[in-house]
Amino acid sequence: MDIGFIGLGNMGFPMARRLIEAGHGLVVFDTRKEVTGKLEALGAKPATSPKDVADQVETVMASLPSLQASLEVATGANGVIEGSRAKRFIDLSTVGSAMAVKIHGLLAKRNIVQIDCPVSGGVGGAEKGTLAVMVSGPKAEFELLRPALDVIGKVFFIGEKPGAAQTMKLANNFLSATAIAATSEAVVMGVKAGLDPAVMIDVINAGSGMNTASRDKFPRAVLPRSFDFGFATGLMVKDVRLALEEMKQLGLSMEVADAVGRLWETVISAEGAESDFTAAIKPIEKKAGVVVGGAKGGVTGK
């Protein structure tokens, strides 16, 4: 399949590379020439704009960092909507259901099908092709695209309703955000009481408290204090805010979600949008007067 791919960031680049390695022909666009150059070396064709991509292929994928970026790439000046060949736009980004519905309506006027296709599993999952790939859109289009989507991960068809896959992604990322926040508080509690954080994580992972943060994030990025798991705090906060907005629109009262949202607002204020989201533990440590982990695997109290 000939595929256009727009947005070659931490997630987009490895997904695009896997598609090339699987034999798909790629036309790529990113504002950074150095990343498109790397894919050109693997056989991809460069494009000068989203419109140029959509002039060359019928199927366009995009992995973008913000709602506005997705809207502009899909429907803005020089966007996919102006392309002469594009028939379908697959948005791998997390934009929330309201924005997905908006893009769907605008593209439909040009007979371009919007496919919601957010992914979960981080940079590691993108590299290995093990992402959870959530899809909503016309079933026939899904079946057409499935061979390509299978290359990037495990594919789940959520439904035909525009935005349905976005709702699924927000539910998933809310749980991920909750896991890192709750695990941080639990481990800081133990460290404050004199427990070894490495032993705590081992016990949690052998018991009923095991979660994605204790299993993956803490051993790899928190206990060594590298804080380099590969997902920005700004992106996590964006997803949490979107989840809270969707819950509100549905008329729900979510006490845990509200608390998680407040904590992540504290994290972005203290650590900045560009920090790794595993740095969520730092404001909690600061309030408790402890530091979890370190080069020697110990604890420094204050």
Query: Does CATH number 1.10.760.10 belong to domain 165-286?
Result: no
**Terminal C-alpha separation, the chain:** 59
Superfamily the domain 1-160 falls into: NAD(P)-binding Rossmann-like Domain (3.40.50.720)
Q: What is the pLDDT of residue 294?
A: 75
Reading the chain (302 residues) residue by residue, the pLDDT tens digits are 999 999 999 999 999 999 999 999 999 999 998 999 999 999 999 999 999 999 999 999 999 999 999 999 999 999 999 999 999 999 999 999 999 999 999 999 999 999 999 999 989 999 999 999 999 999 999 999 999 999 999 999 999 999 999 999 999 999 999 999 999 999 999 999 999 999 999 999 999 999 999 999 999 999 999 999 989 999 999 999 999 999 999 999 899 999 999 999 999 999 999 999 999 999 999 999 999 987 544 455 44
Identity of the residue numbered 199: V
pLDDT number for residue 300: 52
Rounded CA Rg of the chain: 20
Give the pLDDT of residue 298: 46
Number of CB atoms found within 10 A of residue 130's CB: 14
> What type of residue sits at position 112?
I
pLDDT confidence of residue 237 = 97
User: Which pair of tokens denotes residue 195?
Assistant: 């427990």
Give the pLDDT score at 10: 92
Out of 169, 217, 238, 282, which one is annotated catalytic? 169
> Is there a catalytic annotation at residue 286?
no
d(CA 37, CA 106): 32
Domain ranges of the chain: 1-160, 165-286
**What is the rounded distance in angstroms from the CA atom of residue 302 to the CA atom of residue 296?**
17
